[in-house]
């Protein structure tokens, strides 16, 4: 059997960064390199799998103990975040971690400090995989992919392992909110599914943010600065003023748990014209709608002050909170809890402060909670994943399958 670490390292070596500015599906053709590899690996293991024109890999392992067991699926996404480079990843492997700061050797003076990330101490004595500080790692969600494929390999090589029908799914573009836009739930064929896309060991989630993207356009007026008095409208400064109208305490760095936020993720422009891009999040639907209304109200204020048409806002829906779609099928949460406890893991049921393919899939008729993949500090150069967490996640998959087979 290929070790899960070797499998993970093979997957992170493939650049699969998605592109939020692309309208194609998948958003970047390079994602197909890994997705095609996964299809071929499944087929090589004897698992019938296909890769469709939209970038979805779907595989099936037939039941070996009757057809009265509901088909259960396991899903992970192949793309990595546009927030940091996913090319030429050079992982560091720290064996028997000693509890000290971890230097990221690709950047002088950069390290993952225990003072900043005290959760590192929970993994003392374990094997930790990090970046070298020049890229992200890609554990989100190539750890999830490796865990699913490791479980598939075990099932194939152990025909005595009892299981119902198992569905395997790999998707593109999750990081840009379009992961399952064209996913055919009927074709996939699972009654229930789990995304292996959570964070630290023990995480189990069936609540997520309601999510929207807001693009604010500011139209200024550029006049030669020597003659600008009473005439110039500097779009950058006006955009900054509009941003200052949003509540400071509702920024990501000041929120936790069920608290939502406005997050300014990028801006670009000149005196003449600027664009400010936000994501808006809240678990509570009423508060979510209030946040969307607030950013529109801020634009109205700017237009009243500087003139009609100076500020405009485009709001785009991304996903909704999946709780109401999953909770009626709470037994799938209970199975995940028991599957973790069977491995000595204390489950932590908590809301996702983000999104997952499972949110949209749940609204598409496939109840789909989210299970830990083991990683930390996703989307950035401080990303790391303990090997033992990945190994445990793969066993949790097998335990869930066994519980359904009972």
pLDDT digit string, tens, across residues 224-274: 999 999 999 999 999 999 999 999 999 999 999 899 999 999 999 999 999
User: Tokens 């064929």 belong to which residue?
Assistant: 189
Spatial separation of the C-alpha atoms in residues 396 and 399, rounded to whole Å: 5
Instruction: Clarify whether residues 198 and 214 are in a common domain.
Output: no
Instruction: Clarify whether residues 270 and 234 are in a common domain.
Output: yes
Q: What is the pLDDT of residue 353?
A: 86
Instruction: Clarify whether residues 51 and 75 are in a common domain.
Output: yes
* Phi (first) and psi of residue 48, to 5 degrees: -70, 120
Instruction: Clarify whether residues 305 and 336 are in a common domain.
Output: no
Instruction: Clarify whether residues 191 and 215 are in a common domain.
Output: no
Residue with more model confidence, 98 or 352: 98
The rounded mean pLDDT for the chain is: 96
pTM value is: 0.87
Instruction: Clarify whether residues 308 and 342 are in a common domain.
Output: no
**What total number of domains does the chain contain?**
2
Instruction: Clarify whether residues 274 and 306 are in a common domain.
Output: yes
Instruction: Clarify whether residues 275 and 137 are in a common domain.
Output: no
**Residue 355 confidence (pLDDT) above 80:** no
**Residue 151 confidence (pLDDT) above 90:** yes
| Banded model confidence at residue 1, pLDDT cuts 50, 70, 90 | low
Residue where a domain stops, chosen among 304, 319, 334: 319
| Banded model confidence at residue 210, pLDDT cuts 50, 70, 90 | very high
Per-residue tokens: 73: 């699926």
Q: Backbone dihedral region of 56: left (phi > 0), alpha (psi from -120 to 50 degrees) or beta? A: beta
What percent of the chain has a predicted confidence (pLDDT) above 70?
100
Spatial separation of the C-alpha atoms in residues 93 and 5, rounded to whole Å: 10
Which residues are part of the catalytic machinery?
79, 174
Residue where a domain stops, chosen among 268, 295, 319: 319
Instruction: Clarify whether residues 93 and 131 are in a common domain.
Output: yes
Instruction: Clarify whether residues 327 and 315 are in a common domain.
Output: no
**Residue 114 confidence (pLDDT) above 70:** yes
**Residue 119 confidence (pLDDT) above 80:** yes
Q: What is the pLDDT of residue 352?
A: 86
Nearest Cα to 51, choosing from 62, 35, 74, 30? Answer: 35
Q: What is the pLDDT of residues 33-80, one digit of tens each?
A: 999 999 999 999 999 999 999 999 999 999 999 889 999 999 999 999
The angle subtended at Cα 269 by Cα 266 and Cα 270, nearest 5°, is 150
CA–CA distance from 18 to each of 1, 3, 63, 84, 347 (Å)? 31, 27, 35, 11, 31
Contacts of 17 (CB under 8 A, 6+ apart): 28, 30, 79, 80, 81, 82, 85, 86, 87
Instruction: Clarify whether residues 169 and 42 are in a common domain.
Output: yes
Instruction: Clarify whether residues 282 and 360 are in a common domain.
Output: no
Rg from Cα positions in the chain? 23
Q: What is the CATH number of the domain that holds 215?
A: 3.30.70.360
Q: What is the CATH number of the domain that holds 367?
A: 3.40.630.10
Residue where a domain stops, chosen among 319, 344, 373: 319
Per-residue tokens: 401: 């399958």
Q: What is the pLDDT of residue 222?
A: 97
Nearest Cα to 168, choosing from 85, 65, 71? Answer: 71
The domain containing residue 287 runs over which residues?
Answer: 210-319
């Amino acid at each position: 059997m290929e070790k899960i670490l070797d499998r993970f390292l093979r997957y992170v070596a493939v650049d699969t960064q998605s592109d939020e500015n692309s309208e194609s599906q998948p958003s970047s053709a390079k994602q197909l390199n890994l997705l095609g590899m996964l299809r071929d690996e499944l087929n090589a293991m004897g698992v019938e799998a296909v890769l469709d024109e939209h970038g979805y890999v779907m595989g099936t392992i037939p039941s070996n103990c009757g057809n009265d067991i509901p088909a259960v699926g396991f899903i992970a996404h192949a793309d990595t975040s546009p927030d940091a480079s996913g090319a030429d990843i050079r992982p560091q492997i720290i064996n028997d971690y000693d509890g000290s700061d971890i230097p990221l050797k690709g950047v002088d003076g950069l390290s993952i400090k225990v003072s900043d990330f005290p959760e590192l101490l929970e993994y003392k004595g374990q094997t930790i995989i990090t970046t070298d500080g020049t890229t992200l790692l890609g554990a989100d969600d190539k750890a999830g992919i490796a865990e699913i494929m490791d479980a598939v390999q075990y099932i194939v090589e152990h025909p005595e392992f009892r299981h119902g029908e198992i569905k395997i799914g790999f998707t593109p573009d999750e990081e840009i909110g379009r992961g399952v836009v064209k996913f055919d739930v009927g074709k996939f064929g699972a009654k229930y599914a789990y995304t292996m896309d959570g964070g630290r060991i023990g995480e189990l989630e069936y609540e997520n943010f309601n999510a929207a993207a807001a693009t604010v356009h500011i139209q200024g007026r550029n006049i030669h600065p020597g003659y600008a008095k009473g005439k110039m409208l500097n779009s950058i400064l006006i955009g900054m003023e509009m941003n200052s109208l949003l509540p400071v305490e509702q920024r990501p760095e000041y929120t936790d748990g069920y608290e939502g936020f406005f997050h300014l993720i990028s801006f670009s422009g000149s005196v003449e014209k600027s664009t400010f891009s936000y994501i808006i999040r809240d678990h509570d639907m009423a508060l979510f709608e209030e946040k969307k209304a607030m950013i529109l109200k801020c634009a109205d204020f700017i237009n009243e002050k500087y003139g009609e048409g100076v500020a405009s806002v485009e709001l785009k829906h991304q996903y909704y909170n999946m709780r109401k779609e999953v909770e009626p099928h709470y037994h799938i949460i209970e199975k995940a809890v028991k599957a973790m406890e069977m491995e000595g893991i204390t489950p932590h049921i908590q809301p996702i402060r983000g999104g997952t393919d499972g949110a949209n899939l749940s609204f598409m008729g496939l109840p789909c909670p989210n299970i830990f993949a083991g990683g930390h500090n996703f989307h950035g150069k401080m990303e790391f994943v303990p090997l033992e967490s990945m190994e445990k996640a793969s066993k949790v998959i097998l335990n869930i399958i066994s519980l359904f087979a009972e």
